[in-house]
Structures are given as structure tokens and as C-alpha cells.
Amino acid sequence: MWVFSASGCRWLGAAGSLAVAVGGYTAGTLPVLGGAPLWQPRGSAPATAGAVLAYLGLTLLLAAWWRYGVLLARGLQDGVLTTLLCWAAPLLLAPPLHSADVYSYIAQGGMVLEGHDVYGAGPSVLAPGDLGAEAAASVGGNWTDTPAPYGPVFLLLAEAVVGPTGGEIVPAVLGMRLIALGALALIVVAVRGLGGGPAGPAGALWLAALNPLLLVHVVGGLHNDGLMIGLMLSGVLLAVRGRWVLGCALIGLAMMVKSPAAVALLFVGVLVARRDGGVRGVVKGLVLPGLVAGGVAAGATLAAGTGFGWLGTQSVAGAIHTPLSLTSDLGLALGTLFGGDPDPVKGVVQKLGLLAALAVIAALAWRAWRGRIDPVLGLGLSLVALVALSPMVQPWYLLWGTVVVAAAAWHSRAGQLLAVLSAALAYETAPSGHTPWYGFVLAGGVLALGLLWVRRDPWPAAAPTAAHLPRPEGTRSR
């Protein structure tokens, strides 16, 4: 049947994306103030109808993406970038989808312009009439009084959007969407440059850029995680090509969007150490990437004029419980079981989870240095481990590692499992940004079906490879 062909998948996915966007006009994360006449609540009945349409559209998009990936895994050669354009275009003028975070971004840009300390207060300090005040009214309750956990580079971009638009909701959101599209472009270029491993770049773009989780949450939801990933992966590409100083500078900029990008420095260090070899190479790899990125981070902070308060706000998100965090759920359960205040027990379990993540990252870096795993793949798996063991986890955090794994070895068991998780997590939040119970039910159903597919039609496990670099002196692969 035509619908199961590559062309059919392209247009089926485009129809699904269009349904997501149209449904968002009544069921999306609409602003409390300033959205009229385009983006304003229209009553419960239109909101319900819009949500149904958006969920149906998401299902079509996921089905098309899944089938398209199977065809690529079987060796199909097709215009993946054309498909990406068809799927992303309907989302360009949609209201914010699945999250209210963009309102925080705009409000924080307004705070910078109004002279407020974004690392000492939340958007609630904006008074009526201030730049970003309309956006502040739509910030989710958990974040109204929360200082910004983002670096000064992203705040500069938010400031650059709020200034020309005057903080008006619709133009400011569309300005932030331009940044999201720039992030998507960086991801595409970096993934193509890294090649996707032996199976080629087309499938890598399928898992990374065509991924509905990315389309919905980066293009539709405007999360700055896309920019962090794009800058970080671009830096890794430069490092793989031997330009590690410039690559570390880009990773430093990525860190000044969101701090988890710093994990990439360890694997760039592996690349440097392996190229130079010996003790000198190891010392150089351990020290110099951090110095370069740290210098860029310090320079960006001074240029932004927002101060170094971001150093103290990196843990603020962990104070908010998210049900996808395994360590937070376990800590809360144990704390409740033993009675009294569960927070101390929860805090201990969260810290143990982070220590476990650091141990996994160190082990993967060691394996990469010994030539037993591609450093880029090691970085991707490290980011997946960091997300899995973090005290706060949102569905789109999975993209941190998924995009990197796609760039290194999309046609692997890890890539296949990440595709299943991406499909499941796309259902976890509603278009309104809430996390309803049925979102978890839908996600569980997709996860079960996906795992059944993995069992019946497994992709081959990726052979350990370090094709991007030579073996260091005195080591050998096993």
C-alpha cells in the first residue's frame, strides 16, 4: 500500500503534524494574557476537541515516523531532509505546545532588560507594564518564583527577542521559535557531519531530527534543550575533525545554555588524549578542554552582565518533583515508608543517583579511551544515564543522549530502544503542558508495543568502534 511507502510516510506525518498544530490553537499551552486574537482560550468544548485532534495527529506522526525508520533500517535511500521540512513546517506558527517553559524564557529576558537579578528571583518580580510581564502571567506555578537555571548565553538570546518585540506574547514566542529552528539546523548539520555510524546519516537524521519528541518539544514546545544539543554536538563534530579548541569553545557556549553539555568535555578529552598518546596526551585531554570551555563560559558571563549567579541555581530544578525521575520516586517512597519527613531520604537517594551516573560516565569514558567504544557513542550513552538517574526528568531530556547516539550508531540496539522510549514519552505531556493520567497510560501502551517490536525485529547490536580516531600508543582493542 502507498501509505506504507516512504512517500506515504512523508505525507501521513505531515498530516499528523498539521493536526497537532491546529489542535494546539484551542488545546495548546495558551497564554493567560496577550494572546488574542490568535492564541486565547475558547472554552472547554473547543479545548477538548483540539486535544483529541492533537493526540490523533501525534499518533499519525509517530506511526509515520516509526514506519519510515523501519524502511531506512532496511536500506531505503530517501530524501530525509524533505521529510523533515514537511513535518516541521506546520508547527512554525502554532502556539506553544506541551509546555509553558517559553513563557519563562521570555519573562527572564524581560527581567534582564528591566535590571532584575534573574539568578536571585523569579518572573513574579515583574510588575504590570514591565517587559515580559504578560509572559510572566503564564509561567507555570512551580517556576513563578524560581530563579533561572539557564546560563547567560541563553538569557542574552531571550533578551534579544524580548527587546525588539516589546515582550508581546505572539511575536516573542515566534522569535523564540526562530532560535529553536536554528537549533534544529545545528543538529542536522552536526548529525550529518558525524555520519550516523556504518549505517549512514539518513537513519541518524531519522532518530535525531525527525524524532517526534524533538519536533513536538523543540519546534513546538520551544525548549532550549535543542540549542544546548545543537551547540554541544557541533563542538563534538569539530573535535572529531581535529579542531578541538574551537569545538570546546562551542561546548562552552552550550554549557551557558544548559549545564549538562559539560559532559561532552570529558569525551573531547578522550579524543585529544588518544590522538596525542602517552601521559602527555592524557594530561592534555583531562585539562585543556575544561580550560577552554571554562574561559568561554567566564567570558560569556562577563559579556552578558548577568553575573555568576548561574553557578548557584543549577540544582533549583531538583526541588520540583517529576514522576519520571526514578531516584526522586524511589526516595519519596522510601521516605514515606519510614515515616516522618520524606525529603531528607529523598535528597540522599537523589545524590546517590547522581553519584551512580558519574560512575557510569567515568566507565564509558574509560572504555572510549581504551578503544572499546566510539567516544561519540560513549557521550550519548552517558547523557542517557545522566537523565535516567537525575533528580528531575522531563520527557524531552531524553533527547540529550538520543541525538548523540543517533549521530554515532543509530542502527544499533541502543538506537532502537531510544526510538521506542522517544515514541512513548511523546505522549507523556498533553498539548496544554499538563501531565494527565491518560498520558502515562498511552505512554505505557506505546512502550509495551515498542518493546515487543524490539524483541521480534531487533536491530543488530553496534560493534564497538573507534573509527573516528587512532588507537593510543601502548593500548589495544579487545
- Structural domain includes residue 120: yes
DSSP E strand stretches across 392-452: none
Going from the C-alpha of 51 to that of each of 20, 45, 406, the distances in angstroms are 9, 10, 31
Cβ atoms 59, 45 nearer than 8 A: no
Instruction: Assess whether pLDDT exceeds 70 at residue 260.
Output: yes
- Structural domain includes residue 472: no
Instruction: Assess whether pLDDT exceeds 50 at residue 477.
Output: no
Measured CA to CA, the distance from residue 154 to residue 263 in angstroms comes to 19
| pLDDT tens-digit readout, 6-24 | 889 999 999 999 999 999 9
- Structural domain includes residue 466: no
- Structural domain includes residue 462: no
Least confident of 63-77, 235-249, 416-430, 438-452: 63-77
pTM of this prediction?
0.93
Record the cell numbers describing residue 160, joined without a space.
Answer: 534579544
Preceding peptide of 95 cis, ω within 30°: no
Instruction: Assess whether pLDDT exceeds 50 at residue 462.
Output: no
Residue 460 confidence class, pLDDT cut points 50, 70, 90: low
- Structural domain includes residue 469: no
Instruction: Assess whether pLDDT exceeds 50 at residue 129.
Output: yes
- Structural domain includes residue 461: no
Percent of the chain clearing pLDDT 70 (strictly above): 94
Residue 478 confidence class, pLDDT cut points 50, 70, 90: very low
Q: Which of 338, 373, 332, 368 is nearest to 353 (CA)?
A: 332
Measured CA to CA, the distance from residue 387 to residue 389 in angstroms comes to 5
Record the cell numbers describing residue 379, joined without a space.
Answer: 557521550
Where are the alpha helices (H) located in 138-262, listed in sequence order?
Answer: 152-165, 169-194, 201-208, 212-214, 225-240, 244-255
* pLDDT number for residue 318: 67
* pLDDT number for residue 471: 41
Measured CA to CA, the distance from residue 316 to residue 331 in angstroms comes to 17
| pLDDT tens-digit readout, 265-288 | 999 999 999 988 777 888 888 899
Least confident of 56-70, 79-93, 323-337: 323-337
Q: What are phi and psi of 298, to 5 degrees?
A: -65, -40
Instruction: Assess whether pLDDT exceeds 80 at residue 317.
Output: no
- Structural domain includes residue 330: yes
| pLDDT tens-digit readout, 345-389 | 888 999 999 999 999 999 999 999 999 999 999 999 999 999 999
* pLDDT number for residue 277: 79
- Structural domain includes residue 121: yes
Measured CA to CA, the distance from residue 20 to residue 50 in angstroms comes to 8
Domain with 194, as residue range(s), is: 2-456
Going from the C-alpha of 444 to that of each of 64, 214, 420, 428, 439, the distances in angstroms are 19, 19, 11, 9, 9
Label residue 474 left, alpha or beta by phi (over 0 means left) and psi (-120 to 50 means alpha): left
Place of cell 522510549: 421
Cβ atoms 244, 276 nearer than 8 A: no
Task: Count up the domains in the chain and report the number.
Answer: 1
